[in-house]
A and B are shown apart, each in its own frame.
Chain A
Amino acid sequence: MPEIKDLPRELQELRSFLPDLVRYAEHERRLPYASVLVTHREGMDALYRGKTERVQPVPAQSGVCVTIFDGLTFYSLATDRMDRDHLMQAVTDFCDGITPQEGGHEIDPGEPTDQHFMTAAEVDPLSITPTERLGVVRSIVEQLEGYDPKIVDATVRYRGLHDVRMFANRDRLLSQNNRIADILMMATARDGDRMATNHDRVTGSGHEISRLDPNLVPSIASWTLRHLYAEEIEPGSYTVVLDSDMSGILAHEAFGHGCEADTIARGASRAAKYVGKRVGSDLVTIADYAGLPGTHGSFFFSDEGVLVTEPTLLVNKGILQPTFLTDRYSYMALKDRVPGLRLSPNGRREDYRRPVFARMSTTYFLPPPEGGMGFEEMVADVKNGLLIEVASNGMEDPLGWGLQLEALRARPIKNGKIGDTVHHPIGLTGYVPDVLESIDAVGPNIVIPGDGHCGKGHKEIVRVASGGPYLRCRMEVG
């Protein structure tokens, strides 16, 4: 049995009991497949917002989801009670209404294994006192609000979190403690009725993230003031250089959502028709990988017990790949119809109470294998364009291949020089294949900035990340 001392005591005890629930459903009740997922968050927020302070635990989202497969349908029972007697009784009652379906699918539980994972951190994010945590927040607030009288308000949240997931099926007993530290910083500036904001965040695994670059907070404040006096942009089609944050959200919205296999299986993604075909220029390579260390989209196994082993390549040198992002259901529905399809670690639940869907993890553009173009060179080639920085939102359109991205700001590029003018905020749209085909330069380094959250449609929020190198393309900007 692996070392699991970093888990709370009640979870350590529960972990060893999970296989009993699976055994009961499969052996006593003769049901084809059963699994158990436990979600638990333990954390602390120090928050300054609206000129008041808060220090409080992070909502726990703590409970158990028992899933039974009858050959056609997954039946899931969610409860926040974790005591053994209650769980066994609840599973006993739940199994009463489920009977195996003839001719149904079989599920491969995977290679037998018993493992525990924990993200590396220099200083555990929960090892500091509430006063220390609030001290970090107060220091940032003082810097932001003290920078200029026009900065009228600051919102700062310092979160330390253990995001624990445990999974069992007949052959697997897995647990993971994803340690997350995250500082969100936002400033609001005001001049009469004119108002603007700016934000940034640092994300990592441990309290060490609180050793901020001394230029970071003044930079947030300075950009807030520049946003306050930003100029309107002339809407139109522009050559744009996207920073890593923006290239990441482009990857996420363009061929992240479109490659989620449950969306493909229900006929709502055009990607299905383009497997093996060109969807972008030779410079377009997009992957999804939960195994990048320290990103907000990292984890060790999915909520369906699939281990993270390697990146899933979605687009390779402009050609759409058949290796979609699958959950168990979409994999079963498509495996005999899509040569090359694999069960990937993308079946995720927001928490124990929510349904499972095929979801992204960390989605990013890759630099060309021969090395990318440097940022200065990329900008130097632009006669009349824009540098787009800091993503704030995005929306997918997997069937229509539309695209909406939002950014905090744009700066003009004229004859290879970045101008002083600032436009804020910025909206970008385009037709996905046109945008990806127009990519004519990609930088040499992958950067995965900050954190992210993604809703499937408008709900089911899971933590994700996205990024990549700087890249250059053409988009509609307003």
Chain B
Amino acid sequence: MTEHFDKTYDPYDDHTQPPHRVLGYERTFKRTPDAPLIVRAPTLTERTGPTGLARRLPADRADLTRRTPDGPRALGPRIAVHGRIIDEDGTPVPGALVEIWHANTAGKYIHEDDAFDAPLDPHFPGSGRVVTNADGGFLLTTIKPGPYRAAPGSWRAPHIHFSIVGPSFMDRMVTQMHFPGEMLNEYDLILNAVQDPEARSRLIAEALPPDEETGDALTYHHTIVLRGHV
């Protein structure tokens, strides 16, 4: 198992990662450092991370379509996100903590700072948390989030926020999953901050056409690649 826990971490590639400052996203210009980031060789502190997190935090929150198992269902189309966490070699990352949160079907977050004029859904919990299985896989059932206006003239395409705590400080990942075929994908400032079209397309989930096997949730597949290779 040791090979899963002591990897090599190359610096991120600025072509496949977004810039720190994004034109039109004003806050990026006052919250990012002016000084260049300092290069350091990863020490043991960077090559390690919390391995027991899934046992310390509730990590069985896989169903975001209800607040309680028998409670009323949240509004919006139900979706099943079959996800997988792998490293750069394609090796599965088991035991990773996967956290998600997103707006409800009307585009409203459960957060006191969300000023978007849309209703809250009392039956939508807003967030979930699971841990990846031996194959790096996980399943989350939720409702499809709605788009919302982020600033005058600027709308966010429907998206799900993802936070992954992997086996090291180096492979910690925070990103967003988008939906295929959305008109707003072309105009979304955050998604389009990523310059490389291939890297951008990997931020969009794959929708599976419904068939006899499809239950009462539309199926999406999504893979997230954590940094690190053997």
Chains A and B come from one and the same complex: no
B residues at A contact (CB < 8 Å): none
* Chain A contact residues, CB within 8 Å of chain B: none
